[in-house]
Amino acid sequence: MADRISEYTDERKEQEFKYLTLLSNQFKNIGETTTEIINLQAILNLPKGTEHFLSDIHGEYEAFDHVIRNGSGVIKEKIEDIFGDVLGDFEKTELATVIYYPKEKIDLLSQGERNIDMWYKSIIHRLIEVCSVVSSKYTSSKVKKAMPENFQYILQELLYERKDIVNKKEYIDGIVDTIISIGRAKQFVIAISNLIQRLIIDKLHIVGDIYDRGPSPHLIMDVLEKYHDVDIQWGNHDIVWMGAAIGNKACIANVIRVCARYSNNDILDEIYGINLFPLATFAMETYGNDPCIKFAPKEGEKNDIMAKIHKAISIIQFKIEGQIIERNPKYQMEDRNSLKYIDYDKYTIKIDGVEYKLNDQNFPTIDRENPLKLSVEEEEIMNKLQKFFLRSEKLQKHVNFLLAKGSIYLMYNNNLLYHGCIPLREYGTFQEIEIDDKKLRGKKYLDEINKVMRMAYLARENTQKNNRAIDFLWYLWCGKHSPVFGKHAMKTFERYFIDDEKTHNEIKNPYYRLCDKEEICDMILEEFGLNPNISHIVNGHVPVKVKKGETPIKANGKLLIIDGGFSKAYQKETGIAGYTLISNSWGLKLVSHEPFESREKAISAGKDILSSSKIVEDVKARIRVRDTDKGKELQNQVNDLKKLLNAYKKGIIKERYNKKD
């Protein structure tokens, strides 16, 4: 036994020596090593960076973009803290608008009769004050990296010089006067405003559902691709688009159907280059005399062609979904195979033993003997659409980003983030689900989903084969135990074809009834290896109906549901227009937003989003970087550097110096 311990110890020492030797290539001597230790220790003592959590954006780009620009109302709070009674309401509103939309606001002001140079001098000094405050919690090195290169030196001088010293005040005034006199004021205001926006949010978490309903999910994706630090927890609407991008025909049909339902086909045609002309032609020929009343778009103009496209793709969707259900009996979704159970003589369907009359009797492409079979034309259209989705360069780029930055859940700084739910049984135990002959539950189930998502993406070129990983993406969209769907069934067929609204009810997973109990949240947090005494669950998916008295804060603050209705389609139900959860060095704050009027009104009249905040959790001692996940990484680096320093001092590793030293 002693020999084994000695052998193990020797092996560990050898591995550590190899690692320290590699580390010495970066830090070549005692001086460099001690400098880095001092630097990292200083960072560990800084306040933690501010995290913002958003969910269920649903294509509402303008509102999302404004919330990112105004830091969920934090920039306005900073202006109030700094200038208080020094500035009037008009000046404070103008300063905030300049920070949000610097180029646009300057262009608007330049059209007036105001002395623009005097305005520049005043606004630049105010911007310097704001930037000095928001940059104070970061190292000068981090702030420098965030600065635009062409103004880096000037910004450093303005931010870090002592303005209270007379000579330095004159020095700063001289820099500002020079910026204005040489015609660079506009560019400088844009640069410092963008820096303030960048520093106000250190880390952005998107807790699912970027896509569907709203008109511009692609613009949101463009912003996120350029964002300095972001992660994404996939929602069911994201996953159905990911499934479509890898060629899953059921996901393709669902994506097109939802776009038609909300009059958003331009996203497919004009943005992602998905040619819908063959589908439109087929829809007009097949359903030309059909009014398609139940398929009129929910939003936008009541377009007759759109309604016919909507019905055509819906029938195709039900057929393809039925095929997936039949080849995957373990999904236990046979009750969703609606086309098989229609009595095509009486045009009725039995659901849970009750017979219902269909409100539509026009099914020209249904083969009564084989209702799940696509017609020749439908098959041809779906093959074409599949190629369009697979070959869409912009869509593939966006899906690559969702995979690179995304996951089904995330543990970060004692918070557990996921979009929908952790599937539970009626009495609060974890629901067991079978994937590829593995019976899984809780964390293991979600870990397997992460693997399957990436397996499906790698298999996208083999979409002609019935790949189980690719099929599973559709299950995640609407399956009875999907953690991102969270309901027993998606009643799309019933909503279209049965008037009795009792059949439209989608029963939520028991999670949504039980998650208000602390013991349930504790169980979930412990399942993921988190301490229930200091951790929180953050999720979205189900809009919180504030105007009906619902609260986003559950289980005595352990669970926060942050879907407040970014989507305009839900704002009548919620009474608000979205939440932002903010985690800063002082604790947790939940910010609710009123509907955003428009970008134009924000620029011309300073119409900000009205936001109100509620403290979820205060901390007695300010949270430092050392208390975060990043701090743990930095502390490990410090520990390794101390070992390297010790090796240098003992002569185990030889110091190296540059020739000039």
Task: Return left, alpha or beta for 575; rule: phi > 0 is left, psi -120 to 50 is alpha, else beta.
Answer: left
- The one-letter code for the residue type at 14 is E
pLDDT tens by residue, 511-565: 999 999 999 999 999 999 999 999 999 998 877 777 677 788 899 999 998 887 7
Rounded CA-CA distance 519/522 in Å is 5
Q: Which of 169, 150, 145 is nearest to 158 (CA)?
A: 169
Q: How many CA atoms lie within 13 A of 605 on its CB side?
A: 7
Structural element, H or E, at residue 600: helix 599-605
Rounded CA-CA distance 524/328 in Å is 29
Q: Within 246-375, where are the H helices?
A: 249-261, 265-266, 277-286, 304-327
pLDDT tens by residue, 364-388: 999 999 999 999 999 999 999 999 9
pLDDT tens by residue, 418-452: 999 999 999 999 999 988 788 999 999 999 999 99
- The DSSP string of 535-574 is -EEEE-SS---GGGT--SEEGGGTEEE-----SGGGHHHH
pLDDT tens by residue, 196-240: 999 999 999 999 999 998 899 999 999 999 999 999 999 999 999
* Domain extent listing, the chain: 2-46+634-649, 67-200, 236-504
Rounded CA-CA distance 344/91 in Å is 69
- Which tokens hold the place of 564? 């407040």
Rounded CA-CA distance 403/26 in Å is 32
Of the ranges 319-323, 328-332, 614-618, which one carries the lowest mean pLDDT score? 614-618
Give the dihedral sign, CA 129/131/136/139: negative
Per-residue pLDDT at 644 exceeds 60: yes
Rounded CA-CA distance 41/186 in Å is 39
* pLDDT interval class at 400 (50, 70, 90): very high
Q: Any idea which residue has 């208000």 for tokens?
A: 516
Q: What is the pLDDT of residue 164?
A: 61
Q: What is the pLDDT of residue 270?
A: 94
Neighbours of 228 (CB within 10 A): 12
Structural element, H or E, at residue 22: helix 2-24
- Which tokens hold the place of 475? 């299950």
Paired strand residues for 438: 435
Q: Any idea which residue has 């974890």 for tokens?
A: 430
Average pLDDT over residues 564-586: 77
Residues in the chain, total: 661
Rounded CA-CA distance 530/331 in Å is 31
Q: How far is CA 257 from the centre of its chain?
A: 23
Paired strand residues for 388: none
pLDDT tens by residue, 169-198: 788 888 888 988 999 999 999 999 999 999
Q: Give CB contacts under 8 A, 24+ apart, made by 133-142.
A: 133/78, 133/81, 133/82, 134/78, 134/196, 134/199, 134/200, 135/159, 135/195, 135/199, 137/46, 137/47, 137/49, 137/585, 138/46, 138/49, 138/199, 139/39, 139/42, 139/43, 139/46
DSSP tag of 47? B
